[in-house]
Amino acid sequence: MKSLIAKQSIKIDASPERVWQILTKPEYIRQWGSLPEDFGDYEISPETVLNYPQSRLSVALFEMNKALGYSLYMPTWEEEVTTVGYTYRISADEDGHTWLTTEIGDFAILVEGDAYYKDSLRFSDTASHRIKELAEKKEVLL
C-alpha cells in the first residue's frame, strides 16, 4: 500500500524559537490555521485538545522549538484510525538556516484517502507560506 502523506519543507529566515511561537500562540495560529471558537488565548501545550464540530486534534508530540504533532480523530471515519495526524518539525541546516517541515497523513488507510491527501497538500502549502511570512515579519515594539 502506498503512503498518502502530504509533506513539505520551507526555509524560514527566523530563529527556531520564533517559528515555534507562530506554531503555538493562538494569535498567530488564527492567521495560518484555525482554532475552535471557544479556545481562548491559551498557548498550545502537551495537554492541548482542539475540539471542532467535525473533528478533534490532540497534541501527540511536543518538543519545544523542535516538533509539534497532533493526532486527528474524525467521528465520520468508519475505520479504526489512530495514525493520521499533523506534524510540524523545526530544524536548522549546517548554514544556520531554519527549516519547517510539515507532514499530514497518512491517509492511505482511508477509503477516501486520496481526497484528504489532496486537501492536505493545499493546506500544507498555504499554511507553510503563511507561517514563513508571519515568522519573518519583524515585531513592532510599542
pTM: 0.90
Confidence of residue 1 (pLDDT cuts 50, 70, 90): low
Residue 28 lies in a domain: yes
The domain that holds 56 is classified in CATH as: 3.30.530.20
C-alpha cell at 24: 503555538
Share of the chain above pLDDT 70, in %: 94
Residue 35 lies in a domain: yes
Q: What span, in angstroms and rounded, lies between the C-alpha atoms of 132 and 22?
A: 9
Residue 1 lies in a domain: no
Residue 141 lies in a domain: no
How do residues 74-112 score in pLDDT, each as one tens digit?
888 766 676 789 999 999 998 889 999 999 999 998 888
Residue 32 lies in a domain: yes
pLDDT of amino acid 109: 85
C-alpha cell at 90: 523545526
Domain that holds residue 83: 6-135
Residue 142 lies in a domain: no
* Total number of domains constituting the chain: 1
Residue 140 lies in a domain: no
- Distance linking the first and last C-alpha atoms of the chain: 54
Mean pLDDT of 18-31: 96
